[in-house]
Amino acid sequence: MPYCLGLQTAAEAFRSISLATQFTLAVVIFLIIVTIVSALQKDGVDSPPSLPGPSLFAIWPFFRRRYDFLNWGFHATGQNTFRFNLLGNNVVVVSGESARQTFFTAKGLDLTEGFKILSGAIPMVRGVTSDLQTRRIQQIHKRLANVQRHDRLSELIPCILEDSRRLMESWGSAGKFDPFEKVYELTFQLTIRSLSCTEIADDPVAVAQLKKLYDELDTGTTPATVLLPWLPTPAMIKKLLATKKIYDIVAKAIKDREQSGVHHNDTLQMLLDSGDDRLVVVGFIMGLLIAGARATGTTASWLLTFLGGHPDWRNKAAVEVQKLLSASSSDPSQPLSKRLASISLETWESETPVLDSIIRETTRVAQPHTAMRRNLGPDLYIDDKLIPSGAYVIYPFSDVHLDPDLYPDPWKFDPGRKEPEGVPYSYVGWGGGKTMCLGTRLAKVELKLVTAMFVLGFEHDVVNASGEPMYPLPTPNWNDILLCRPPQGSFSLGYTKTSVVL
């Protein structure tokens, strides 16, 4: 009886306080319960060792300094596999050749579930970009493959080059810029062109607005918005508002197209002609726009930075593109964008070994990916360590891409380095096993076209804040999980336009 009275009194006291205080108290109680439950969990004989210290201490470094945090975890446990908790989510980190093979081939490890919970940087609209049925996800993947069909991609090449010409001309004849702003802006435009619709791609104001909104999603992604999405923090409110505005822009473009009856040869038309329902169309555009722009933008920004600091490879790339132009049937008096557009897709894909090696080396040293999966069951073992059903598994690409045994002097940009032989998944820049990047073909074509335009249209180098040639060159920051970007303002690309007409 006293216990009942005590609970009743506590309940009445709880109801008497303000809603804000109730909410704050509920969050505190929740965190205390999670901390106690995590502390009571013991490592089994076949469980990965746990990180030392309270689990709450892992949250900030996992999201803000992930590269350093994961390296510390391997060092602190002395193992190539360890685990920690993110507010009740059991996360296992794996490394090494054997673990890498299992990670990329195990059937029960699901990418969609892992990325949704541990990343949180994709705009989430219930039923549109989240909670999609497997059938709809497969349909979106099928449509992305259709975008990259030979005929469709061949038709995109002149559009990509024209967009590149327009933006590059806006840079002027000489100056300097931050590649993570100007080059990223360019690749965002190309992604809009390739994966959305003509109406948006042809409207610089709409493109700029979308880029601003997606940037807000990036900056608004905090540990709280990922792990406590129901908590109305200022960052979460900002994300929700940005997501709603993105949805409105995309939905309006779809509605306008349907009502106008005007057909365009673009991705939106392909989606509508395929008879896809509205959820698939909106989800495809909203999700893939940012997924494609982030990865391609990061690679393009670093690629041109590396070429600016390695004139030998810059010259090799220029010579290779010049050879393609010489072998084409283009009129030398035409602008560069028109001449490059005359080169076939087959040629871009099969006769550019220098560009291929530059792209591969850039994605090796400057793509800070941490692959994320969730074990949907049954329980499995990685290196004799139990990965229970429901647990999250992550594999940092740095484990293989920055391994000095596979890549001597791993931080050095060297497209001519010999590829490791006989080592499974020694390069996973575009994924591996059953989960390869579905937009690889489009991304590589975009990167080659932008590089070709830039190395023939401009001379450039890497300069410091004072405008002087920079040495040593900037190093990718793997703690920046989106762009691998060094401190803002620490360097720029100085450029001078050549006599070539873009």
SS3 263: coil
Whole-number Cα distances in Å, 380 to 243, 256, 436: 37, 49, 22
CA distance 135 to 228: 28
CA distance 79 to 72: 11
CA distance 477 to 387: 30
CA atoms within 13 A on the CB side of 241: 10
Nearest Cα neighbor of 194 from 181, 213, 176, 207 is: 207
- The total of other beta-carbon atoms located within 10 Å of residue 28's CB is 10
CA distance 496 to 502: 13
Nearest Cα neighbor of 164 from 441, 496, 367, 457 is: 457
Residue 258 · residue 227 · CB < 8 Å = no
CA atoms within 13 A on the CB side of 407: 21
Q: Is 437 assigned a ligand-binding role in the annotation?
A: yes
Residue 371 · residue 395 · CB < 8 Å = yes
Q: Any residues with CB less than 8 A from the CB of 457 and at least 6 apart, and which?
A: 168, 336, 497, 498, 500, 502
Nearest Cα neighbor of 229 from 111, 137, 125, 373 is: 125
CA distance 365 to 367: 6
Report which DSSP code applies to 277.
Answer: -
Alpha helix stretches (DSSP H) within 170-277 = 179-195, 198-201, 204-219, 223-227, 234-260, 267-273
User: Which residues define the annotated binding site for heme?
Assistant: 437
Q: Can you say which residues are annotated as belonging to the binding site?
A: 437
